[in-house]
A = this chain, B = another copy of it.
Amino acid sequence: MNEFELIARLTAGLARGKGVIVGVGDDCAVLDMGAPDHWQLFKTDAVVEGVHFTTDTPRAKVGRKALARCLSDIAAMGGTPTYALVTLVLPRGFDPAEVETIYSGLRTLAAQHEVSIVGGETTAGTGGLLISISLLGWVPKGMALLRSSARAGDAIFVSGELGGSLAGRHLDFEPRLAEAQWLNRHFDVHAMIDLSDGLAGDLRHVLKASGVGAELLGQMVPVSRAAKLRARAESAAKPPLLAALTDGEDFELLFTVAPGDAVAVKDAWASRFPELKLTCVGRIVAQPGLKIVTEHGVRELTEHGYTHFQ
């Protein structure tokens, strides 16, 4: 049983309460708190030493990453972040000066996005450093961009370049808040998610939530320079396309729009965000499953089928 199956099992029995627009299963919970014109977004995310960063990772970058991951989830709903609480679980013998360094990274990023840190707690733990961020945000009423709204025929777009994030990008990526808000304001975006588990994994979340399938065009997938460099440098490394599909922690946006909107989105993006690539990587189809078209033909991209590429 993997994490997703576990969470599905745990949350199956949770009653959906009053005001819950979206509970478990999207990037954030979406709540109708009675405000006349907006819904609230609510998200929590933890980074753990030895899993999301190492003992050598500069502490300011750890603090930054913890908040940035949560901001990326607010972006994935087309929303705007507002208030954060910070939970620090410190290893034994942790130096208070390092705590201040963690906070400095957090505060700088919070200030950039006008997020107020309104509290939290610091507690002693028995393992490595852990930072959990709890974040609120909002989205105009009726405008939350969900995973469950992809439709057959939609064009699938991704921002930026994918793969190889571990080389450094996972510590200093920019959450795509401005881009997602702009998309939400100007276009009829169907489904959106941020790429934390890798293009293949996250697209699969969208497909499952929407009850559809997809076909990716292998040669359109934007592969990062880091993934290409690693494939060249290490014979044991993943081929670049596989890295772009499965490395994870890209924190770029994946979204779908009706095919008739694809050109307008692409053109408007290029003029609004000239320095950030936007690529159409495939299309949504009615038949469930995830296929990829490469020079070797069409293949099913199953959850455990990545070895086909190696």
Residues of A within 8 A of B (CB): 1, 3, 6-7, 9-11, 13-20, 23-25, 28-29, 31, 33-36, 38, 40, 42-46, 48-51, 82-83, 85, 87, 89, 91, 96, 99-100, 103, 107, 111, 114-128, 130, 132, 134, 136, 138
A126 near B24: Cβ-Cβ < 8 Å: no
Contacts of A122 in B (CB 8 A): 3, 6-7, 10
**11 A–B contacts from the bound complex (CB under 8 Å):** A3-B122, A9-B100, A20-B83, A20-B116, A23-B116, A44-B120, A48-B89, A48-B125, A49-B126, A125-B128, A126-B127
A85 near B43: Cβ-Cβ < 8 Å: yes
- A18 CA / B103 CA spacing, docked (Å): 20
- A82 CA / B87 CA spacing, docked (Å): 20
B136 near A42: Cβ-Cβ < 8 Å: yes
Is the contact region of chain A dominated by helix, strand, or loop, or is it mixed?
mixed
Contacts of A126 in B (CB 8 A): 48-51, 127-128
Contacts of A1 in B (CB 8 A): 96
| Known contacts A17-B83, A83-B31; is-contact A45 B121 (Cβ 8 Å) | yes
Q: Given A23-B116, A29-B119, list of 4 further CB < 8 A pairs? A: A13-B107, A14-B118, A24-B118, A44-B87
A29 near B111: Cβ-Cβ < 8 Å: no
Give the top 6 A-B pairs by smallest Cβ distance, nearest first.
Answer: A127-B127, A17-B116, A29-B118, A134-B134, A126-B127, A44-B85
Contacts of A14 in B (CB 8 A): 107, 116-118
Tell me the nearest residue of chain B to A103, going by C-beta: B10
Which of these, B34, B89, B121, contacts A130 with CB under 8 Å?
Answer: B89
Tell me the nearest residue of chain B to A116, going by C-beta: B17
A82 near B48: Cβ-Cβ < 8 Å: no
Contacts of A116 in B (CB 8 A): 14-20, 23
A123 CB to closest chain B CB (Å) equals 6
Contacts of A124 in B (CB 8 A): 48, 51
Tell me the nearest residue of chain B to A4, going by C-beta: B122
Contacts of A29 in B (CB 8 A): 83, 85, 118-119
- A44 CA / B89 CA spacing, docked (Å): 12
Contacts of A121 in B (CB 8 A): 7, 44-46
Contacts of A117 in B (CB 8 A): 11, 14, 23-24
A23 near B127: Cβ-Cβ < 8 Å: no
| Known contacts A15-B111, A23-B118; is-contact A10 B100 (Cβ 8 Å) | yes
A292 CB to closest chain B CB (Å) equals 28
Contacts of A128 in B (CB 8 A): 125-127
